[in-house]
Structure 1
Amino acid sequence: MLRLTVRKRKDVFVYLSTVVFSILFILVGNRIAMRHVVDRSDSDDVIEQAKVTKIVERVSDDEMLSDGEIGENTVVTFVAEITKGERKGMSIVATQAIESYESMTTREVQQGDRILLYERTIVEGEDPTWVFGEYLRTPTLYKLLAIFFVAILLFGRFKGFNTIVSLAFTCLAVFAVFIPSILSGYNIYFWSILVSVFITAMTLLLIYGASQKSLAAALGCIGGVLVAGALTLIMDRGLMLTGITSEDSVFLLYLDTPNPISLKAIIFAAIIIGAIGAIMDVSISISSALSELRDNAQNPTFGLLLRSGLSIGRDMMGTMANTLILAYIGSSLSTVVLLVAYNSSLLELFNREMIVVEILQSLVGSLGMLLTIPLTSLISASLYTGRWWARRRSPQPVHEDEEI
């Protein structure tokens, strides 16, 4: 009873310490990362949430396109009621302009739609005009997110709650620390590894606590991530990458930062951040399975645990490699389809830098995950059969005067 109480206190201390450290990491990291971030927002538009209450008119005219076809420009005038903010309840007249090249992608507003409106002053001194900005999609996303969180809590209970907390810290680490560090012109290689190590340690400590299982998984995961990073640096030179994989990447070159943003470093960070989830999954699965084997086997030896870890890893290898490859393909499926449609030569297609980078991400991530299997198995077998575990398993005498 005494031993369980002490262990419970230790778990609570580790949990709270991890939460406090994570908060400090986010706050301090954000302050450092934001040090040289420039506010590049040059828009004075006022954005309001509104609901369409009435369609006033729809005006269309034809336009001759560059390919000789006739396109249609449409202007929809409607009445909307502002639903939030200081002007809540105010009815305004706004317009939605749909150019001919947008006619296939933009839906005309309808009564009852929830939208974002922009207040714009076109001519100084005249009354501002209201124009359609975007459909308000976040409420639907919030509902789906709520369902996701409820499902995690119902299935995982307290570990599910810890999963949500770790997910929140992970998102904050990426969006409040890592991305601002890029915009400040800091070393992307250093910050991507720092954030990856933080995510790994924080996630394992919050969900699994301070234990040999977490230590083995953390060491195996960090080792796999470092291997993936090293392979990326090696292949970077061999593949003669420039980092220009899309129009968006070109715009990064024109950002005003103290140090120019390295597009090659962006590729490195994308591979590391993209692979860390799968690598962590592999490492904790092996570490947890070997921990259960140690607790239930009569005489677990180093060789038995190592062989078992490698066997479990081989069973996981195929599906996890597919997970990475399919995730990367799915994230840029539209672009891949276009490239395949307009390239008659497979040789040319597979030498395009964008395709090469996608393949590189898949292969390097899979190799990092593959090498995580023997590394985590070796570390777990070493820790689980060490002297520390032998002392822990030995019975401890309980004195009568001890507080139970």
Structure 2
Amino acid sequence: MAKRTVGRRRADTKPNRGRRLEIPRGHGHGHGHGHGSEVIDTSVVDSDAVVARRVRIVVAGVLIPLIAAAVIAMIVLWPGGDLKIAAAEQTGASGTVTALKACPETPADCDEATVKLRSAPGADKGLEVPVEVPKGKNAAVEIKVGDRIILGVQKGAAIADRYQYVDHDRSVPLIWLAVIFAIAVIALSRWRGVAALGALGITALTLTQFILPAILKGSNPLLVAVVGGSVIMVIALYLTHGINAQSSVALAGTIASLGLTALLGWGFVKVSAFSGLASEGASAVKAYVPGLDLTGLLVAGIVIGSLGVLDDVTVTQASAVWELSAANPAAGRASLIGAGLRIGRAHVASVVNTLVLAYAGAALPILMVFAIGGVSTGYLLSTEIVAVEVVRGLVGSLGIIAAVPLTTALAAMAVADRSRDLVGVPESVAGAGESAVSG
């Protein structure tokens, strides 16, 4: 009988230095707790010649065309010129309250505050100006000496009437919160945390410099959201997780799931006959931009809202399949898909619940209004303001559910049967590895 060569790598390829594959010993369970086994770095999977070849096919055939199309679409849709609308333009200022005295006419309802301006248009910075501020039952939050407040500015008015109270200035606690968040991320994830913060900054820039202005310029909101979302995911995934096979598979799953989410969102928004006016701020935007497609804006919001969760799910699924393949290089496609889906079920159950609760939390005040009025559940769900949140939550959840099998299947196709090209994986172990994962 001819000698079989399965499980040997050609002599001209580089071995994985300093790492050994984890082969389950003793019990054949697929839970990765074999007695005396070594934990390995999944980079051996990324560096595998078979995996690299398969992923290159996905990258060249799917990802590169999609990324190129997204970049070209972003260039074409990029908003040019000034986006400000004169009727909507607002000028703001901020300052610190240095003194308070009761208003002469309504002492119980307002105070006359002396405010030292910290930031203001023109040459007013540093001036102390009079500002009427609410008091007692009219004040949502009590105003005291030393408080920082933000002000509206009426240009051209006399200094006594130029500034009006708007709200408390919360920039300091927000900055402290951002600093604590950044420190926590970096302390836990180190350089990867720094990369994640960089990706967060790029996401913010894409939203403020491309997505919002392009929609205001009249571009199709759904198209802008899909293009912007795809670019965000490309940069965020590769910057945070590195340019490698695993990130490429996760990215392919993310873009596919994003497209499905957009399609489902568009379909159910149209079928549900939403006007888009129930969303907060929609009426004001429509007044300033009459040609704005509010239903398209609604779908765009669904797509953008699901981006972060899709990223989480696809990266987790790709990582799970990579771990399974690292532990059992002989595992076949069906075994990896089955094991990956078992992991994904628990993840999806918790993430879907989180997403639905997040949308329910956003609509909580209006739900309480309906509850006080004793409105029936059927009536409540049919109102646009509630139905919009239901569609957002369920469509986003459907995108997440689809992301699990899509990403798992892509990852399994990339890493299945790696033992064919690995040094020192005997034929008997190859069969045992397959059964271990499938178990």
Q: What TM-score do the two structures reach when normalised by structure 2?
A: 0.73
> Which deviates the most, 338-347 or 225-234?
338-347
| Corresponding residue for residue 213 of structure 1 | 246
The amino acid that maps onto 1:139 is V
1:2-401 → structure 2 map (5 Å cutoff): 33-35=78-80, 38-42=83-87, 47-59=92-104, 61=106, 74-84=109-119, 90-98=126-134, 103-120=137-154, 129-246=162-279, 248-256=281-289, 260-385=291-416, 393=422
- Once the two structures are superposed, residues 272-311 of structure 1 have per-residue CA deviations (whole angstroms, 9 ceiling, x without a partner) of 1111111111111010111112112242221221111111
The amino acid that maps onto 1:156 is S
Distance 2:213 2:283 in 1: 18
| Corresponding residue for residue 69 of structure 1 | none
Preserved contact between residue 76 and residue 108 of structure 1 (Cα < 8 Å): no
Q: 1:47 to 1:227 in 2, by over 3 A?
A: closer
Q: 1:83 to 1:373 in 2, by over 3 A?
A: same
Gap runs ≥5 in structure 2 = 1-13, 18-42, 48-66, 425-439
Distance 1:180 1:148 in 2: 28
Preserved contact between residue 48 and residue 118 of structure 1 (Cα < 8 Å): yes
Q: How far is the alpha carbon of 1:240 from its aligned partner?
A: 2.1
Preserved contact between residue 101 and residue 112 of structure 2 (Cα < 8 Å): yes
Distance 1:57 1:113 in 2: 17
Q: 1:98 to 1:206 in 2, by over 3 A?
A: same
- Once the two structures are superposed, residues 199-220 of structure 1 have per-residue CA deviations (whole angstroms, 9 ceiling, x without a partner) of 2111110111122211111111
Q: 1:312 to 1:147 in 2, by over 3 A?
A: same
Across the aligned residues of Structure 1 and Structure 2, the Cα RMSD in angstroms comes to 3.4
Q: Kindly indicate which of the two structures has a greater share of residues assigned to strand.
A: 1
SS at the partner of 1:340?
Answer: helix
Q: 1:390 to 1:157 in 2, by over 3 A?
A: farther
Q: How far is the alpha carbon of 1:348 from its aligned partner?
A: 1.3
The amino acid that maps onto 2:200 is L
| Corresponding residue for residue 430 of structure 2 | none
Aligned residues: 361
The amino acid that maps onto 1:55 is L
Distance 1:59 1:251 in 2: 35
Higher RCO (C-alpha 8 Å, min separation 6): 2
Q: How far is the alpha carbon of 1:164 from its aligned partner?
A: 0.2
Gap runs ≥5 in structure 1 = 12-21, 63-71, 396-404
SS at the partner of 2:292?
Answer: coil
Preserved contact between residue 45 and residue 120 of structure 1 (Cα < 8 Å): no
Preserved contact between residue 92 and residue 151 of structure 2 (Cα < 8 Å): yes
